[in-house]
Chains A and B, each alone.
Chain A
């Protein structure tokens, strides 16, 4: 029987961060992990997919853009096995980093699958472990759909897709969400014929700003990805020649040929695992553990963070909650009160957003909005990088000029967005962003220019004055 102050179940970006903060606060802490330290994020999610996307990006540029810069490269060979090795080394580097951090903070790592016995005790590999507090951080897993059972050989989840040891000839990706598009994009760049099957009329629908999604849609099509929208995947059949994937479009069935089928229709929380019931923890019908603003479950000494406690299922939200919960257990007065969780999609070009979309702003009662875009084509750094697609779009309250939402599609959108997150958390007005000196020449200037554009007077694009007297109404 082992005894701890805090036992964290799951060592993903929620769990390991919670454990480290808990240890910093002086708690005797343990982390239970059934697979690799770092969870989905470091091992089969965020990090390895970014490695593949970066590789795909370079490969693509080498073929299509280097020529303009005068690089005449006779031939480039792709050693996909080597690439895979490198990708894996990235993950293992990160994972062993987590191991070191845990060790350095004197956190006990227990390998195995946890199962609650009651609210005070769980078992791992038959061994009983007790704790004063538990933090459930066991995340989510890919959703399976009827007719497409994952075999991770030909019918793949994101995990299987990332582990492919060759470039498949024909890929059908079911689900035009961010995971499907990220994988589709790089597979296409390495030479696969890719068809994306999406049930909605647009890609990334409801998740990102529609105009941003549009830019990515166009680029995918330009790169040769076939988009099949408003389509439902009905089933698949193995043939002599790979698979026949049947989809239904507007009531009509159509067959798509594939060697590999990737199913990325979303992720479901792991609330059905670990025998949470035995601890008396309430789980809703979708599998999310119910928590309050302190991420406390209905059992007062048990907390849940990350994917398992609700949307958005994003690593950085989980980490924030991890710190929060450790401090709550310590007795600090903390609640989850972030205004916004930024979201990033590593498509080509990247999409990143913070704050409200236009529809969300209106739903919150902001009826008079200022909305404008500033294109990367008007940014010197973007032009010098040969990456001019996309824009920074800002949404602000017309009355107060308070920044409500920022939506970026374009190069390094993922890095630029942090400024927008800070601005929104700080309650910044458009003027605050516009009057802040941004370094030149950088992609970050687009934030300043977009704020100016929203105020009606960006320097590097031609704008008609917003109001007839040429002045902007200050609140």
Chain B
């Protein structure tokens, strides 16, 4: 006698699944509760157990096909031995439980039937959300789960470690229950008010039989940490969306002001407007969020949520204030175009994105001066003027080999640090058109003489405006040499997306106290290293400058690293 095995209910709201794999084939004998197929639903892949024993006669579907609940999966020939009531209908399955590697604890099987349901009858599912983590902290990275599905959780028990920009905190549960589902993986970014995990209601020991209530309209049950944001009905792990409460009819704000408030995450309902008859003005909304210094323009700005931001780093909307001429006749206006415009854009971008800091120190270059003098004859013969710049380049390359974070970039869009294994040195060139930065590619593989030749060539052509675009691209770090003009120290601007710029200044004679109390004259030269503080700490910069100076002061040491 043949028995039909049907696809059982796979969970609330799941009406079908895709056949991933058969675990049996015709002719196999199957025991009761033996898994016969893997079915993938939108929520999980589950193994479907046979409700009865027998010999597989026919598989009714092919892998990849979609099977509806109650469709006949396979037919079994009953084996003569146990002719006891071949149940035609499958009992409730273990659904998601089947695949969890955990040993089949008797109690564990049942609660897990609920793992896929988001709303339940009675006490139902509880949602533990990520609470406010502190002023201005909107999200954090999940570092570690402190609980796992099946664990009983008490109120205030820590359930996860979340790392914010400021600290790593343990997040307590606001309620008690049994963990049914963890909504994020370690390493994922969780936003405040996102559902962290789901609990089955208190007293959540095995319910006699999971009642298959049809999913009705109940949205998420209330949560203690009264959410200031509203959570849409469908917010699940797939991508919860937050928005401030919709303004009540009584709120007096124009549609554009309401949009601005939404974009700035301001709840208009709780605001008292400064305008006539309590009208909430744009200014009111702006002022209510002092910490967000640069509000984005109203129209069409993407929500600063989803990780899908591209190219632009945060805060790239640069204001364009006008200039009111106080004395028009005594002023001249020329268009800001060409190289100057490009310089303006680049430097503004760099300052906008990079938190700069500059460290300054003085190097005793007496030896280097002598060293260079000693080479003079040889170099003049080859017709190349060797300046101090190639030596500085060599010392810098050797130093950043030691400190690779200086030869790096930050990919803001991807949230990654890019370490570069090549050394393209930019050097600032003063030209009639303004500042240009020619680049010596693979400077680490070139000799002092080669570097000197290239410096002369590039800077000549820079002054003549004959540099190719490619010759000003892809520097990994830049050197500025305004010391040749004057000044003791400067605070240069980093050439974004690089993360550091080295400044070198003029050589001067300095009286120093030598050993033994004698007064001597030394050649000294000032250096600055300006760094992107996002990537480079002050102490690192200090070590970098120290290592650099050690090399530039001792041409012998410098030689050691030369290629």
Contacts and interface: CB of A to CB of B under 8 A. Distances in A.
B105 interface: no
Interface stretch (B235-243, B378-386, B422-430, B476-484): B235-243
Given A300-B234, A301-B238, A364-B250, A331 B305 contact: yes
Interface in A273-316: 277-278, 280, 282, 284, 290-294, 296-302
Contacts of B246: 293, 335-337
A418 B278 CA distance: 24
B121 interface: no
A34 interface: no
A332 B303 contact: yes
B235 A280 contact: no
A209 to B, nearest CB: 17
Interface string B291-323: 000000000111101101000000000000000
Contacts of B230: 292-293
B16 A293 contact: no
Given A296-B232, A300-B239, A333-B243, A284 B217 contact: yes
Contacts of A475: 277
B507 interface: no
A119 B40 CA distance: 13
Given A120-B42, A336-B246, A364-B249, A290 B277 contact: no
B303 A331 contact: yes
A356 interface: yes
A284 B214 CA distance: 12
Contacts of B234: 292, 296-300, 302
A402 interface: yes
A339 interface: yes
Interface string A427-440: 10100000000000
Contacts of B498: none
A293 B238 contact: no
B241 A118 contact: no
Contacts of B216: 282
Contacts of B258: 337
A252 to B, nearest CB: 41
A277 B301 CA distance: 35
A282 B243 contact: no
A296 B241 contact: yes
A277 B259 CA distance: 34
Contact of A294 (B217, B232, B236, B277): B232
Contacts of B255: 337-338, 425-426
Nearest to B230: A293
Nearest to A116: B15
B233 A297 contact: yes
Interface string A393-416: 000000011100000000000000
A429 B239 contact: no
Nearest to A328: B241
Nearest to B268: A337
Contacts of A117: 16, 66
A330 interface: yes
Given A120-B42, A278-B15, A331-B306, A296 B254 contact: no
A427 B279 contact: yes
B263 A333 contact: yes
Given A290-B217, A291-B233, A427-B252, A337 B300 contact: no
A402 B254 CA distance: 13
B544 interface: no
B233 A290 contact: yes
A118 B236 contact: no
A117 to B, nearest CB: 7
B262 A334 contact: yes
A317 B72 CA distance: 45
Contacts of A335: 243, 246, 262
Interface size class of A (residues with CB under 8 A): 35 or more
B253 interface: yes
A284 B279 CA distance: 37
Contacts of B13: 280
B233 A296 contact: yes
A301 to B, nearest CB: 7
B277 A429 contact: yes
Interface string A54-76: 00000000000000000000000
Nearest to B276: A429
Given A300-B238, A400-B277, A400-B278, A332 B233 contact: no
B247 interface: yes
Contacts of A427: 252-254, 277, 279
Interface string A182-209: 0000000000000000000000000000
A120 B217 CA distance: 21
Contacts of B66: 117-118
A402 B302 CA distance: 33
Contacts of A333: 243, 262-263, 301-303
A402 B279 CA distance: 10
Interface centre among B215, B240, B249 (most CB of A within 10 A): B249
Given A278-B15, A297-B233, A401 B254 contact: no
Nearest to B249: A339
B42 A280 contact: yes
Contacts of B14: 280
B120 to A, nearest CB: 14
Contacts of B254: 425-427
B556 to A, nearest CB: 58
B232 A356 contact: no
Interface centre among B234, B249, B300 (most CB of A within 10 A): B234
Contacts of B306: 331
Contacts of A402: 252, 277
A376 B308 CA distance: 55
A302 to B, nearest CB: 8
A331 B249 contact: no
Contacts of B305: 331
Given A282-B217, A301-B238, A429-B276, A331 B247 contact: no
Interface in A344-401: 356, 364-365, 400-401
A332 B301 CA distance: 6
Contact of A331 (B16, B250, B278, B302): B302
A328 B262 CA distance: 13
A451 to B, nearest CB: 15
A291 B234 CA distance: 8
A339 to B, nearest CB: 6
A294 B239 CA distance: 14
Interface string B2-17: 0000000000011110
Interface string B213-237: 0011100000000000010111110
Nearest to A297: B234
Interface centre among A327, A335, A401, A427 (most CB of B within 10 A): A427
Contacts of A118: 15-16, 42, 66
A337 B255 CA distance: 8
Contacts of A334: 259, 262
Contacts of A331: 302-303, 305-306, 308
Interface string B262-286: 1100000000000011110000000
Contacts of A365: 250
Contacts of B249: 339, 356, 364
A336 B245 CA distance: 11
Nearest to A298: B234
A330 B234 CA distance: 17
Contacts of A297: 233-234
Given A118-B15, A284-B217, 4 more contacts: A118-B66, A291-B233, A298-B234, A429-B277
Interface of A: 117-120, 277-278, 280, 282, 284, 290-294, 296-302, 327-328, 330-339, 356, 364-365, 400-402, 425-427, 429, 475
9 pairs of A and B residues whose beta carbons are closest in the complex: A292-B232, A427-B252, A400-B277, A333-B303, A298-B234, A300-B234, A331-B302, A337-B246, A300-B238
8 contacts: A119-B42, A282-B233, A297-B233, A299-B234, A335-B262, A337-B255, A425-B255, A427-B277
